[in-house]
Amino acid sequence: MDGDSPGVRVDGSRVFYVLNPEGDLHRTQENFEGFVCGQQAWRGIVGRRPMNHECEYGLSANDIFVYFGHGGAEAYIQRTQVRGLRRCAVALLLGCSSGRLKLAGEYDALGTAMDYMIGGCPALVGNLWDVGDKDIDRFAASMLRKWGLARFSDGAIEVGYEPACDDNGKQKDSNDGISDNSNALSLTEAVCNARKACRMPFLTGAAPVVYGLPVYLS
């Protein structure tokens, strides 16, 4: 990583992924397995639970950590491990409530996102509440394309998309909100622009937020 202005730049070829670790998100695995396996330089796990050290390695030895599973991967890496990292990747945690913080009275709020910030994570994408897998897959596909990470893989993202309706009840173009963006966007901009890919943009689309700094791919 390097700290070029106006934000942080990360290498799109240094990715670690965890896809469907519990084995019950079959549609999500079908949607993204070809994509994550399409770049030989990427490393990761598909369809099985990570061992204790694997998520820690994924965060500390790579520039980007992508998690398609339940929650924020708390079941596979302890918060003390995250907080103790000497180096931490940008984290895309696409599970339910992965970005939710819990109030602790007069003390700082608690949550997975805070653990990652303390561990040195430049930026984290997480969901503020529970989301449906089909709609958050649409969001994830759009975000990955708009940020530019999709161009690092020869594999396709196989997310089915039904065109949403505009304010007048007219169906939008089927590529609206999901097509590639040729301009270099920060992760924050990609998240913002990807909300419209959801069938429920004010429910599912409003759940993902970014903690941290603007992050660009190099």
- Give the up-direction half-sphere exposure of residue 178: CA atoms within 13 A in the CB hemisphere: 23
Active site residue 96: yes
Pick the catalytic residue: 88, 96, 121, 198? 96
CA angle 208, 211, 214 (to 5 degrees): 105
Q: Report the C-alpha gap between 88 and 76 in whole angstroms.
A: 16
CA angle 35, 36, 38 (to 5 degrees): 65
Q: Report the C-alpha gap between 87 and 65 in whole angstroms.
A: 12
Q: Report the C-alpha gap between 189 and 114 in whole angstroms.
A: 21
* Catalytic sites, residue numbers: 96
